[in-house]
């Protein structure tokens, strides 16, 4: 299921915006004057799909409508109360009404009541701080959830993690299954303008007393990438041990259906060498990993069975790295074409490695524009589940004009590896470049 159109009415009591998405190109660009609600519109979508209803309530609007490509319609209505002159007032504590209709016009309502957080016992905050993995408090009513990097309000956390609470600690109505299904079908990630810093979990760094602190995102992602590589290497090692252990038995039993002739073996072995060469180039395999058959010229028929099993085993083992390899390769390719006088490589121990004139550089030594570029590319490649909706606010920040002009092309290259839809909010004609066919302009009232 995908979103095909977004409509908001009464935003700030002024604007009505209609945003049809470009489903074929999977890219939609919204633009318009400051104050017309580009960032707020992205924030509303993010809050709705990531169960941050507290943030949604803080935005003054009348109705938000989400149209899906399967004919479904989700409407979010703000319940108001009139002022002395009968004009509706949308207060933060007012309830929200959700209404879903499917292609058969079956209506399913759900009233989202405002939580009276002051009525919740302090035990809730203690439970959150100590019992939910990856969750840490950063101020009086804001928490960081490390697995996704999101900053969440207490209300958002209660709704999202209510199933983990001990029985009787909280009493709120469960979300209807149709709403859960919609959120599971469309994973939404918001890449905000503040992307150079992230909260870092120190609980695995035992020498520190504090649980979290702000670090540069490039350092956080560098360590995260090294961890992803090491996890893949652990899976690879376990699979290798299993296949090596059973190799003699499989060889003795034989499998004529899997047997390759000498020409097929030469082709397969050549392909394996190319794969291993690529894995070494992106830092996933050491130079002496696996036996090399690149110089094999003559293959005897009696060796065909053993080599066929070997080839199949190596293909199985290397397939563990396929997705990660393609992403790392594309990341390095884009970065090394753009960063002048610097070369990036990947280390399985350290993540990002940068060199300039033979001198190693920390990722934190990159310029703000280079860090913005690296962070955005990393999030798009490594932080999005398949078929996500990614919301990108002002991708042009700190980027050179040429980089801005290349942004959509880079995005399309990435989307071929990690399939997603994207909505971009921008002020930059250089980001749009020659793709005005992808744009939707946010306009003010006609009678203004």
Residue 97's CATH number: 3.40.50.300
* pLDDT on residue 208: 35
Same domain, 295 and 423: no
How far apart CA 367 and CA 372 sit, in angstroms, is: 9
Q: Is residue 237 part of a domain?
A: yes
Cβ within 8 Å of residue 293, ≥6 positions away: 269, 272, 273, 307
Q: How many domains does the chain have?
A: 2
Q: Which of 169-204 are b and which e, b meaning 16 or more Cβ less than 10 Å from the residue's Cβ?
A: ebeeeebeeebeebeeebbbbbbeeebbebbbbbee
> Which run of H or E residues covers position 408?
helix 401-417
Tell me: pLDDT of 285 over 50.
yes
Q: State both tokens at 258.
A: 């899997």
**Final residue before a domain boundary, out of 322, 350, 367:** 322
Residue 340 burial (CB count, 10 A) = 8
Same domain, 108 and 32: yes
Q: Is residue 412 part of a domain?
A: yes
Cβ within 8 Å of residue 282, ≥6 positions away: 325, 328, 329, 332, 346
**Residue 25: domain span:** 1-113+173-187+386-448
Same domain, 406 and 284: no
Which pTM value belongs to this model? 0.84
User: Stretch 193-209: mean pLDDT, rounded?
Assistant: 61
Same domain, 73 and 178: yes
Least confident of 67-76, 246-255, 423-432: 246-255
Same domain, 422 and 274: no
Q: What is the pLDDT of residues 126-145, one digit of tens each?
A: 677 677 777 777 776 777 88
Q: State both tokens at 225.
A: 């990438």
Residue 73 is classified by DSSP as E
* pLDDT on residue 205: 47
Same domain, 315 and 398: no
Cα 146 to the center of its chain, rounded Å: 13
Cβ burial, residue 75 (10 Å; 0-12/13-18/19+): middle
Tell me: pLDDT of 151 over 90.
no
Please, are residues 259 and 305 in contact by the beta-carbon 8 Å criterion?
Answer: yes
Please, are residues 94 and 137 in contact by the beta-carbon 8 Å criterion?
Answer: no
* pLDDT on residue 306: 79
Tokens 């520190």 belong to 208
Q: What is the pLDDT of residues 394-421, one digit of tens each?
A: 999 999 999 999 999 999 999 988 889 9
Same domain, 248 and 178: no
Q: Is residue 65 part of a domain?
A: yes
Residues belonging to the chain:
448
Q: Is residue 263 part of a domain?
A: yes
* pLDDT on residue 209: 39
Tell me: pLDDT of 376 over 80.
yes
Same domain, 180 and 38: yes
High-pLDDT (> 90) share of the chain, %:
47
Same domain, 252 and 180: no
Cβ burial, residue 139 (10 Å; 0-12/13-18/19+): exposed
Please, are residues 332 and 344 in contact by the beta-carbon 8 Å criterion?
Answer: yes
Of the candidates 310, 289, 284, the residue with the CA atom closest to the CA atom of residue 232: 284
Same domain, 178 and 252: no
* pLDDT on residue 231: 93
**Final residue before a domain boundary, out of 278, 296, 322:** 322
User: Stretch 418-433: mean pLDDT, rounded?
Assistant: 94
How far apart CA 152 and CA 136 sit, in angstroms, is: 10
Q: Is residue 32 part of a domain?
A: yes
Work out whether the CA dihedral 240, 246, 250, 251 comes out positive or negative: positive
Confidence of residue 206 (pLDDT cuts 50, 70, 90): very low
Q: Is 252 helix (H, G, I), strand (E, B) or coil?
A: helix
User: Stretch 375-393: mean pLDDT, rounded?
Assistant: 94
**Final residue before a domain boundary, out of 293, 322, 351:** 322
Terminus-to-terminus CA distance in the chain, angstroms?
37
Q: What is the pLDDT of residues 56-105, one digit of tens each?
A: 888 889 999 999 999 999 999 987 655 555 566 655 556 788 999 987 76
Q: Dihedral, CA atoms, 75, 24, 319, 349, nearest 10 degrees? A: -70
How far apart CA 112 and CA 360 sit, in angstroms, is: 53
Across the chain, mean pLDDT equals 84
Same domain, 230 and 276: yes
How far apart CA 31 and CA 426 sit, in angstroms, is: 6
Establish how many alpha carbons lie within 13 A of residue 223's alpha carbon, considering only the half-sphere containing its beta carbon.
12
Q: What is the pLDDT of residues 2-51, one digit of tens each?
A: 999 999 999 998 999 999 999 999 999 999 999 999 999 999 999 999 88
High-pLDDT (> 70) share of the chain, %:
82
How far apart CA 281 and CA 332 sit, in angstroms, is: 10
Confidence of residue 107 (pLDDT cuts 50, 70, 90): confident
Cβ burial, residue 241 (10 Å; 0-12/13-18/19+): exposed
Same domain, 181 and 242: no
Q: Is residue 434 part of a domain?
A: yes
Q: Dihedral, CA atoms, 52, 55, 57, 58, nearest 10 degrees? A: 180
Q: Is residue 355 part of a domain?
A: no
Q: Is residue 337 part of a domain?
A: no
């Amino acid at each position: 299921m995908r979103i095909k159109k977004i409509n908001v009415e009464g935003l700030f009591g002024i604007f009505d915006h209609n945003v049809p998405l470009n489903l074929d190109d999977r890219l939609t660009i919204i633009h318009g004057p400051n104050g017309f609600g580009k960032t707020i519109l992205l924030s509303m979508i993010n809050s709705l799909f990531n169960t941050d209803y507290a943030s949604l309530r803080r935005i003054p609007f009348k109705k938000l409508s989400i149209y899906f490509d399967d004919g479904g319609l989700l409407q979010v209505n703000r319940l108001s109360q009139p002022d002395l002159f009968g004009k509706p007032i949308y207060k933060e504590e007012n309830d929200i009404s959700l209404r879903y209709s499917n292609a058969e016009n079956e209506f399913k309502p759900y009233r989202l009541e405002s939580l009276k957080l002051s009525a919740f016992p302090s035990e809730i905050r203690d439970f959150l701080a100590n019992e939910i993995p990856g969750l840490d408090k950063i101020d009086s009513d804001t928490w960081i959830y490390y697995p996704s990097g999101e900053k969440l309000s207490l209300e958002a956390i209660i709704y999202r993690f209510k199933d983990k609470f001990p029985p009787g600690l909280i009493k709120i109505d469960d979300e209807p299954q149709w709403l859960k299904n919609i959120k599971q079908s469309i994973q939404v990630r918001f890449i905000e303008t503040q992307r150079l810093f992230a909260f870092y979990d120190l609980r695995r760094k035992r020498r520190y007393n504090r649980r979290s602190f702000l670090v540069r995102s490039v350092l956080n992602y560098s360590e995260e990438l090294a961890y992803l590589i090491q996890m893949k290497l652990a899976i690879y090692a376990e699979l290798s041990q299993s296949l090596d252990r059973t190799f003699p038995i499989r060889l003795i039993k034989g499998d004529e259906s899997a047997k390759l002739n000498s020409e097929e073996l030469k082709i397969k072995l050549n392909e394996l060498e190319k794969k291993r060469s690529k894995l070494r180039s992106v830092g996933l395999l050491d130079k002496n990993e696996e036996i090399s058959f690149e110089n094999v010229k003559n293959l005897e028929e009696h060796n065909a069975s053993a080599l066929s099993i070997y080839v199949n085993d190596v293909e199985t083992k290397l397939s563990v790295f396929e997705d990660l390899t393609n992403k790392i390769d594309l990341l390095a390719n884009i970065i090394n074409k753009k960063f002048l006088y610097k070369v990036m490589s990947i280390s399985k121990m350290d993540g990002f490695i940068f060199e300039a004139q033979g001198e190693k550089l920390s990722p934190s030594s990159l310029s703000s524009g280079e860090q913005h570029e690296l962070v955005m590319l990393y999030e798009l490649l490594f932080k999005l589940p398949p078929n996500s909706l990614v919301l990108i606010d002002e991708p042009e920040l700190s980027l050179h004009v040429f980089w801005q002009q290349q942004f959509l092309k880079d995005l399309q290259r990435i989307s071929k590896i990690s399939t997603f839809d994207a909505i971009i909010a921008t002020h930059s004609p250089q980001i749009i470049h020659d793709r005005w066919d992808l744009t939707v302009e946010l306009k003010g009232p006609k009678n203004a």
